[in-house]
Amino acid sequence: MPKCTMVEALNLALDEALGNDQQVCLMGQDIGVNGGVFRVTKDLQTKYGADRVMDTPLAECGIIGTAVGMAIYGMKPIAEIQFSGFTMQAFDQIEQNMARYRNRTQGRFNIDMVMRAPYGGGIRAVEHHSESREAYWVHTPGLKVVIPSGPRNARALLAASIADPGPVIFYEPKAIYRAFREDVPDSPETMELGKANIAQSGDDITIISYGAMMRPAREAVEDLTELHSINAELIDLLTISPIDTETLLQSVTKTGRCIIVHEGHQTCGVGAEIAARLAEGGAFEYLVAPLKRLTAPDIPHPYFQVEQHFLPDPDDIIGAARELMEWT
C-alpha cells in the first residue's frame, strides 16, 4: 500500500468495514456523491449504494438519533458530523441515547455505532469549525473516545472503533488530515482500544499528548534530547476514554515529572483528569516536580488571523520541560 494521508487511511478503513460487514453503513451531510467535505468518504457511495452511504438532511440531532435507532435494529452506523462544533446540536441524542441505551436496557440493546467528526484548529476556518471539546464526551458515562495521531493509527483505530460493540466517538484531528503521509499495511490493521502508545521512551520527564498536538510534542522531544540532553518519554494517548492510566502511572513513577499537552480547553479538560489521576494515584510519591498542563486557554478558538499562536508549540513544551527539570 503506498503512503497515505490520514484522509486516505480513514477512507480505506471505512471501505474495508463496508466491504466486510453488510450491517455497516455510513450517514452524514454531503458524504455521498460529494464524498464528504474533506473527502473522507470519497467514492464509497458509488461502491456501496445510497442506502448504505446516506446523505442525510441538515440536522445533526436527526443524524445521531436515527443512527441510534439503526444500531438498535442491528445495523452498525458510522455517523459523520461535518465539524465537531456541530455535535452540540446532537448533544441530547449522544448523551441520552447513544451513551445510555445499553445501560437503560441492561444490555438488551447495544448501541454499536461510531460518531466520527473532524475536530481541532489549524485550518484557518471560521468560528465553530475549530472546536476541541472531546472532554464533554470523556465526562459522559457510556462512551469511548478515540483520537488518532497519524494515518496508520487512524486506520487501525477506526477499524477498532467500528469493531467495538459499544458507542465510540472518533475525533479526527483535521489539522493533520493531509499534513503527512505514512505507510499503511496492505491488509486490514486494527489496534486495541484503551491502550496508549509510548511514542518515544525516556527517563527524565513524561510528556502526554494526543491528536494533532503529537506533532509539536514530537518536535519538542527531539529538541530536548538533542539540544538540552533531556530524555523525555512521549506518550500518545490514542484512546481518550477510557484513559490508559496504567501506562501513564508507570511512566511518571519512572520520570517523576509530567507535562500534558492538548488542544482542548484547560478547565475540566483531559489534562485535568490526567493530572488528578497522577496526583491521587500511585504516582504521587514519585513526583519530584509539579505537574504541568499546556492546553488551549478557556476561551473560544480565536478567529483565524490570530489562531497561529493560540495553541501550545514546541517551545512551550521545551520551556516547561526545562523548568520542571530544574524544579527542586
Partner 1 sequence: MSGLEPDKPIEASCDPMQASPPLPASGFNTRAIDLGRIECLQILDEHGDIEEGLQPDIEDNELLRVHRAMLLSRAFDSRMLAMQRQGQMGTFAPNLGQEACMIGQVWPLGDEDWFSPSYRAFGAQIWRGWSMERLMTLWAGYHDGFPPPDDVKDLPFSIVIGSHVLPATGIAMAMRRAKDPHCMVVNFGDGAFSQGAITEAMNFAAVDQAPIVFVCENNGWAISTPLDKQAGNEVLAARGAGYGVHSIRVDGNDILAMMTAMKEACDRARRGEGPTLIEAITFRMSLHTTADDPTVYRDESLVEPWHNRCPIRRFELWLTRTNRLTTQDCDRIREECEQEVLDARAYFRKNATAKPREIFDHIYDTITPELESQRMDYLRRLDRKGVE
* Pairing between β-strand 24-28 and β-strand 76-80 as defined by DSSP bridges: parallel
What are the C-alpha distances in Å from 155 to residues 86, 137, 146, 174? 24, 21, 12, 14
Residues 126-145 interacting with its own copies (rule: CB under 8 A): 127-128, 133, 135-136, 138-139, 141-142
Binding partner of 133, given ligand TPP, partner 1, its own copies, none, CB within 5-8 angstroms per partner class: its own copies
Decide: is 278 part of the binding site for its own copies (CB under 8 A). yes
In the set 243, 248, 275, 291, which binds partner 1 (CB under 8 A)?
243
Indicate the helix (H) or strand (E) that contains 28: strand 24-28
In the set 67, 71, 79, 86, which binds ligand TPP (CB under 6 A)?
86
Report H helices in the chain. Answer: 6-20, 44-48, 60-73, 91-92, 101-104, 134-138, 151-163, 214-228, 245-255, 270-280, 314-326
Decide: is 33 part of the binding site for partner 1 (CB under 8 A). yes
- Contact at 8 Å (CB) between 229 and 202? no
Decide: is 146 part of the binding site for its own copies (CB under 8 A). no
Q: Give the residue with the Cβ less far from its own copies, 2 or 141.
A: 141
Strand partners, 79: 27, 115
Closest contact distance (angstroms) between CB of 282 and its own copies is 9
Grid cell in block for residue 314? 514546541
Instruction: Say whether 228 is catalytic.
Output: no
Q: Which residue is nearest to ligand TPP (CB)?
A: 86
- Per DSSP, 146 falls in state E
Residues 47-106 interacting with partner 1 (rule: CB under 8 A): 51-52, 55-59, 61-62, 64-75, 77, 85-86, 88-89, 92-93, 96-97, 101-106
Amino acid at 238: L
Q: Give the residue with the Cβ less far from its own copies, 51 or 285.
A: 285
Q: Is 307 helix (H, G, I), strand (E, B) or coil?
A: helix
Instruction: Please give the residue ranges that form the binding site for its own copies (CB under 8 A).
Output: 85, 88-89, 91-92, 95-96, 100, 103-104, 127-128, 133, 135-136, 138-139, 141-142, 241, 243, 265, 267-273, 275-276, 278-281, 284-285, 287, 289-293, 298-300
Catalytic residue numbers, as ranges: 129
